[in-house]
Structure 1
Amino acid sequence: MDAADMLSVEEAAEVADTTPSEIEGWIKSHRCIAVFNRYRRYKLPRWQFEPNLWNVLQSLASALCTTDSWQVLVFLETRALVLGGQTPRAALEQGVEAHRILALATAEAH
């Protein structure tokens, strides 16, 4: 939660080139990953705004059958044997096709 790549709503708005109110709308509609810190303020992983991740987030949450950001975050940050021990996040960042990650998420959800 305190990692350098965890952003406040205002910082996320700067990274995503939008407004804090738009980020809050994305949070409410489960469009992005946002988790509460110990002060009950949202923190958002910076990396989710990279195109390889941003473009798959909505489909990923659907494949996992969840709107819970923690579940999506845990999935993305947990090493998977079928990905050679990489995390799904790292695999996406390195160009693994999204359909492979979505298939893994679907399998995990069932």
Structure 2
Amino acid sequence: MKTASTTSTSTTRLRTNNGPSAVEHPSLYASAAQTKAFLAGSLAARTARLEANDMLSTDMAADLVGTTPVTINAWIAKGRAIGLTQPRGGFKLPSWQFESALWDAVPKLSKALRTTEGWALLAFLETPSGALGGRTPRQAIEQGHLARVIEVAGAEGY
């Protein structure tokens, strides 16, 4: 009979009841140290993105488009606007989404990606795609290729 045990070095050892020998196999799971490093890097990257020059507070976004912060929050909840959650609550919004080409695209992308989660929408828009010739979806939209971006978003299956 074989039993599996996981060690902190992210290796699974298969032991047999017949003796002390073990066969090492790479673990399917990240170690606690790997997970901690990943999360720390993720937090640093998110914090840097929230502090970028193109980010607006909810109040600033409301002033920009002539509405209220309550309406901005409702748009975020519906996938009409991209709102990035902050560690201490509230949202930051990329200002470029209020440009006409992107403003029309955001709800369509939210629907195609089947998410209203701001970080997921932003990651899709700012990540270069081979399906778009190495351009980011944001660049492709700005160049007039919204239909292709929606097609790629639907295929992503977020």
TM-score by length of 2: 0.64
Give the equivalent residue in structure 2 for 1:99: 147
Give the equivalent residue in structure 2 for 1:32: 81
1:51 equivalenced with 2:95 (yes/no): no
Unmatched tracts of structure 1, length 5 or more: none
1:46-92 CA deviation, whole Å, 9 max, x = no partner? 01111111101111111111121211111001001122211001111
Give the equivalent residue in structure 1 for 2:71: 22
Residue aligned with 2:128, SS: coil
Residue aligned with 1:55, SS: helix
Residue aligned with 1:86, SS: coil
Verify the 8 A CA contact 2:85 2:118 in the aligned structure 1: no
Give me the whole-angstrom Cα distance separating, in 2, the residues matched to 1:92 and 1:67.
19
Give the counterpart of 2:137 among 88, 94, 105: 88
Give me the whole-angstrom Cα distance separating, in 1, the residues matched to 2:105 and 2:118.
14
Runs of 4+ aligned structure 1 residues displaced above 3 Å come to: none
Give me the whole-angstrom Cα distance separating, in 2, the residues matched to 1:61 and 1:103.
12
1:62 equivalenced with 2:111 (yes/no): yes
- Alignment RMSD, CA only? 1.4
Q: Percent identity?
A: 45
Give me the whole-angstrom Cα distance separating, in 1, the residues matched to 2:73 and 2:114.
22
Give me the whole-angstrom Cα distance separating, in 1, the residues matched to 2:130 and 2:155.
13
Answer 1 or 2: higher relative contact order, Cα 8 Å, separation at least 6.
1
Q: Report the alpha carbon displacement of residue 44 of structure 1 after superposing the two structures with TM.
A: 0.5
Give me the whole-angstrom Cα distance separating, in 2, the residues matched to 1:102 and 1:47.
18
Q: Which residue type is aligned with residue 113 of structure 2?
A: L
Verify the 8 A CA contact 2:79 2:115 in the aligned structure 1: no
1:108 equivalenced with 2:156 (yes/no): yes
Give the equivalent residue in structure 1 for 2:59: 10
The structure with more radius of gyration? 2
Give me the whole-angstrom Cα distance separating, in 2, the residues matched to 1:81 and 1:29.
29
TM-score by length of 1: 0.90
